[in-house]
Amino acid sequence: MARPEWRRFSAPDWRAEPWSEIEAECPGELEFSSVGYWISILSNHRSQITIWDRRGRRLAAQKNFDGMVTTTAFAADENWLFVVAKTQNSPTQIHRFALRSGLEDEVLTSEMLHFKRIVPHPDNRLLAAVDNYGVLVVIDVETMRVVNQVWIKETNSLLPEALREPMISDAMEKMMGVLTNHISAAQLEEYNRQCARHFLPKEAIHVCSFSADGKWLFCGTRCGLRGLDWSEVLRCPNMQAVPVQLSVDAEGVSLDEERDASAEHKLVYAISFDVIRQRVLFSGLEGKISFLNLKDGRAGTLLAVPGRVPLFQLALMPDRSAIAASGHRLDYRSNKRQPPHFQIWNYPALCRAAGLEH
């Protein structure tokens, strides 16, 4: 197999150039720690994590998993690397790997919680995790135990709550009656617990990100951007709806106009934060980068991407000189996978064009 060729993009011209700092075979995804001292490299088969020490320019560790790694995240203080792994027929695990001497590895195992996102709080004591039903789960880093679970109540339900609840209750009663003769009591209980999470009248969370001071948790949901006061998340009763303090709806998009022009979808895929201007940047299906200024509450469009390609990843450079994004056009009428687009945009120029302070 040919040795992988790494490339990097650097200011001021942002042209790709060879990058030989790290050595890793079968690379898939790359993630830097907050300060940049560590890199985690996920293999393309998603069953191995390579941890690279940039200061020592050496391979620090290599972790293998029986299942598939779904997400990784470094702690803000760079003491830990968190890895979520899941196999088809075994519990989900969140691994806490130590990056400094004197610290110990730990793991949280859950039969029910299947995490798709995990974000460490800036104070390094808690994790915000999103499960596959879009519920927000708070985890204590020291004990690796779940301390709270909350969700965001939907604002535009297709069914009135008074009608929705009886319908779901009746359907569940009939389903449980059928399943009683086919699965064990333990399996029946687990199924019931999973359904309870699925049928909550919620806006399912897809992605989340903290403000630099940790006071806000910004959530990208299936309807838009929602801002939560972190202290309210911690005070909220377990498995109850948490109050939403900031809200910007996403633009509706029809994914297949020929089949159903009336079916509009909304989803925020990525969030970034401009610390200097206290500005939330977010992107999704609508193919644009939107903004929300925390200081004055102003919201709008920073950039409408040519062709309106949905943007799945978004990152503001530490020096605020550029925004990096990755896009992927969705085409449900074709079986051919469309290639992703990697883009770098001049952030000061975008701010000027949108009438925003850089």
Residue 330 lies in a domain: yes
Residue 103 lies in a domain: no
Residue 38 lies in a domain: no
What is the residue-averaged pLDDT of the chain? 85
Q: What is the pLDDT of residue 190?
A: 62
Q: Environment class of residue 9 by beta-carbon count within 10 Å: exposed (0-12), middle (13-18) or buried (19+)?
A: middle
Would you put residue 264 in left (φ > 0), alpha (ψ -120 to 50) or beta?
Answer: beta
Provide the 10 A C-beta neighbour count for residue 100: 9
Degrees, nearest 5: CA angle 89-204-272? 105
Residue 153 lies in a domain: no
User: How many structural domains compose the chain?
Assistant: 1
Helix and strand element counts for the chain (H, E):
4, 26
Q: What is the pLDDT along the chain (358 residues), one digit of tens a residue?
A: 556 677 888 888 888 888 877 776 666 788 999 888 999 989 888 889 999 998 888 889 999 998 899 999 999 999 999 999 987 777 889 999 999 999 999 999 988 788 989 999 999 999 999 998 999 999 999 999 999 999 999 887 655 565 656 655 655 555 655 567 666 766 656 656 666 777 788 899 999 999 999 999 999 999 999 999 999 999 999 999 999 999 999 888 776 655 555 567 788 999 999 999 999 999 988 889 999 999 999 999 999 988 888 899 999 999 999 999 988 776 655 556 667 788 999 999 999 999 999 9
Structure tokens that stand for 271 in this block? 């969030």
The DSSP bridge pattern shows strands 58-64 and 48-53 to be antiparallel
Q: What is the pLDDT of residue 357?
A: 96
Read off the CATH number of the domain in which 335 is found.
2.120.10.60
Residue 301 lies in a domain: yes
User: Quick one: DSSP state of residue 287?
Assistant: S
Backbone φ and ψ of 305, nearest 5°: -65, 135
Cis peptide before 12 (omega within 30 of 0): yes
Task: Provide the domain limits for residue 355.
Answer: 251-358
Q: Which strands form 58-64's sheet, in the order they lie side by side? A: 27-32, 38-43, 48-53, 58-64
Structure tokens that stand for 309 in this block? 């390609």
Degrees, nearest 5: CA angle 184-189-194? 125
Would you put residue 87 in left (φ > 0), alpha (ψ -120 to 50) or beta?
Answer: beta
Contact present, 269 and 284 (Cβ < 8 Å): yes
User: Quick one: DSSP state of residue 5?
Assistant: -
Structure tokens that stand for 135 in this block? 């519920």
Distance of alpha carbon 196 from the chain centroid: 22
Name the residue type at position 262: S
Q: What is the pLDDT of residue 191?
A: 55
Residue 291 lies in a domain: yes
Residue 278 lies in a domain: yes
* 107 DSSP β-pair partners: 95
Structure tokens that stand for 227 in this block? 């801002």
Q: What is the pLDDT of residue 10?
A: 83
* 280 DSSP β-pair partners: 273, 292
Residue 183 lies in a domain: no
Q: What is the pLDDT of residue 66?
A: 84
The pLDDT tens digits for 103-150 are 999 999 988 788 989 999 999 999 999 998 999 999 999 999 999 999
Q: What is the rounded distance in angstroms from the CA atom of residue 240 to the CA atom of residue 110?
A: 20
Q: What is the rounded distance in angstroms from the CA atom of residue 18 to the CA atom of residue 6?
A: 6
User: Quick one: DSSP state of residue 275?
Assistant: T
Question: What is the share, in percent, of the chain residues with pLDDT greater than 70?
Answer: 81
